[in-house]
Structure 1
Amino acid sequence: MEAVYEWPEPVVRVQTLAGAATIPDRYVKPLSERPKLAAVPVGSTARASNNIPVIDFASLASGRETAAVAAACGEWGFFQLVNHGIETAEEVRRAWREFFALPMEEKQRYANSPATFEGYGSRLGVVKGAVLDWGDYFFLHLLPPSPPTKWPSSPSQLRVNYYPKCPQPELTLGLSPHSDPGGLTFLLPDEHVKGLQVRHAGEWVTVDPAPGGLIVNIGDQIQVNFSSARN
């Protein structure tokens, strides 16, 4: 397949649309793909069994929760990790808030292309006229290292998905349903917004982030043994 180096049409930053009364037609999903706003919340009294397992890393290090991790990966493809000892989580949240609060012209310095998708972006597909997701993002590779020009100078440490306020959340999604292509994904959620849903037992379950926790997602590369859940 021939590589694509330019977007097929001008890129609109979703953040610039957040104050509109309605969303543009480009972001309206087909009925079958629209969000299930009544999705079962994790921890709800109605479905108490619908909980992404919470794993205590301190116990995992001692070997006491190994079986619990295997069970979570097999049944859910997800688990939450607490007591992980990562002390910079709040600094990371502050960094992404700072970046997306920057003036648009500053963020545009790091605009990406479909050649690598690294940098500041607002779409992933390259099909002209495609229905788009309601979200912007900043993407960098861990390995091999990303070009230094893609690292923002303010702040200088960042990789994040950003979903601006939406006037019609029943019509669109911040990110379309998918499974992750890699091995493991570690998510640092916004503790004030329940923005992640996981497909489990035929239902979309809204994840309630554990305070201070990370969300771990099994990717497609290891789904031979475990479940790579859609989210």
Structure 2
Amino acid sequence: MSSCCNGGAGWPEPVVRVQAVSDTCGATIPERYVKPPSERPSLLAPAAEPVNNIPVVDLSLPDADGTARAVAEASREWGFFQVLNHGVRPELLRRARSAWRGFFKQPADVRERYANTPATYEGYGSRLGTAKGGPLDWGDYYFLHLLPPALKSHDKWPSLPPTLRETTEEYAEEVVQLCRRVMKVLSRGLGLDDGRLQAAFGGEGGEGACLRVNFYPRCPQPELTLGVASHSDPGGMTMLLVDDHVRGLQVRRAGQWITVDPVPGAFIVNIGDQIQVLSNAEYKSVEHRVTVSAVEERLSMAFFYNPRGDLPVAPMVELVAPPASPALYPAMTYDEYRANIRQRGLSGKPTQL
């Protein structure tokens, strides 16, 4: 039993590990992972598959205003962009990927020491949403709280591989600095002072941050399932590090699913629901999903940068001018918003957005 699931502590039913399902299911995946026909990916031949490099922004260019315009345009039109020359060391990106691959290669009993519960989601998990009998995605994950410091507990971080904790700490420090840098660019793109958007998050040191490392095992029927179902990110901004050689992220644009072609060494940045609210829909959080592969496993690291949990989030007053531009959203704390998302799981974009 330990090789395939845990007892489901806090969950409505036992939690099955997708790694174990992948190893034992043969040529047919269990029915719980099969998506309705309207949600299944269309896995076309490589020559016919719609692949697109979402906008790419070089953060090292000296034209700060030009960079802000490029980021703002991408955030309005796509909700996604890639950043190059971002300041996070390439060797640290390699070490972080390697360390977390090492965790998912640990024996099942080692991984199960860190099994998570719905109380905080922190730890080793295989499902989102707490509804009994709810849909399942083809992926396992590890979720960690990083900011505020009071929520960070190294006891909940894996001790194997031995380098994982130190590497994750270094990685988090550098990615937080990158997030703060991009927040300034996003703020300038709205015509506001560089620090305005950061202040709405609670200021530097007041924001929230967490990491979800996703592991997508090989799947014998990738045309029937998804690694992560369609959703928009509920937080503020996501800094995503993906496999350079295994594509899987798809972004919804004009009713079509576009497979993103990652630029080696880049981060993929996407706007979350909270920045859509703060920008009064100037910037868009966009639906996206993850496909899986029959021949290759895939790992990604999603760094979520969020407003302080108890801070009311509403359109910034500088962007509201009734009657032409009324506030489109009521104030709500991120803690309240996240609780609603966790109850229903990831399922499209919330209707109120």
TM-score (norm 1): 0.90
The 1-side partners of 2:138 and 2:62 are apart by 37
Q: Which has the higher helix share?
A: 2
- 1:190 and 2:247 matched: no
Superposed CA RMSD in Å reads 1.5
Aligned length in residues: 219
Aligned residue for 2:345? none
SS class of match (1:17): helix
Q: Which amino acid aligns with 1:152?
A: P
CA positional deviation for 1:61: 7.0
The 2-side partners of 1:84 and 1:15 are apart by 33
CA positional deviation for 1:148: 2.6
CA positional deviation for 1:83: 1.1
The 1-side partners of 2:212 and 2:152 are apart by 12
Q: Which amino acid aligns with 2:245?
A: H
Give the counterpart of 2:66 among 61, 64, 73.
64
The 2-side partners of 1:53 and 1:206 are apart by 13
Q: Which amino acid aligns with 2:146?
A: L
CA positional deviation for 1:60: 6.4
Superposed CA offset, 1:168-196 (max 9, x none):
00111000000001111000011111010
Give identity over the alignment, percent.
60
Q: Which amino acid aligns with 2:218?
A: K
Aligned residue for 1:226? 283
The 1-side partners of 2:95 and 2:282 are apart by 35
Give the counterpart of 1:106 among 98, 107, 110.
110
The 2-side partners of 1:96 and 1:170 are apart by 27
The 1-side partners of 2:110 and 2:62 are apart by 43
The 2-side partners of 1:218 and 1:225 are apart by 11
Aligned residue for 1:32? 38
The 2-side partners of 1:146 and 1:66 are apart by 32
Aligned residue for 2:268? 215
- 1:203 and 2:205 matched: no
Unaligned runs of 5+ in 1: 43-50
CA positional deviation for 1:63: 3.7
SS class of match (1:18): helix
Compared CA separation, residues 60 and 80, structure 1 to 2 (3 A): farther
The 2-side partners of 1:131 and 1:182 are apart by 22
Compared CA separation, residues 128 and 56, structure 1 to 2 (3 A): same
SS class of match (1:170): helix
Compared CA separation, residues 14 and 61, structure 1 to 2 (3 A): farther
Q: Which amino acid aligns with 2:85?
A: N
Compared CA separation, residues 187 and 135, structure 1 to 2 (3 A): same
The 2-side partners of 1:178 and 1:226 are apart by 16
Where do 1:148-163 residues align within 5 Å?
Answer: 148-154=154-160, 155-156=164-165, 157=168, 159-163=212-216
Aligned residue for 2:230? 177
The 1-side partners of 2:244 and 2:28 are apart by 27
Which shows bigger deviation, 178-187 or 55-64?
Answer: 55-64
Aligned residue for 1:92? 96
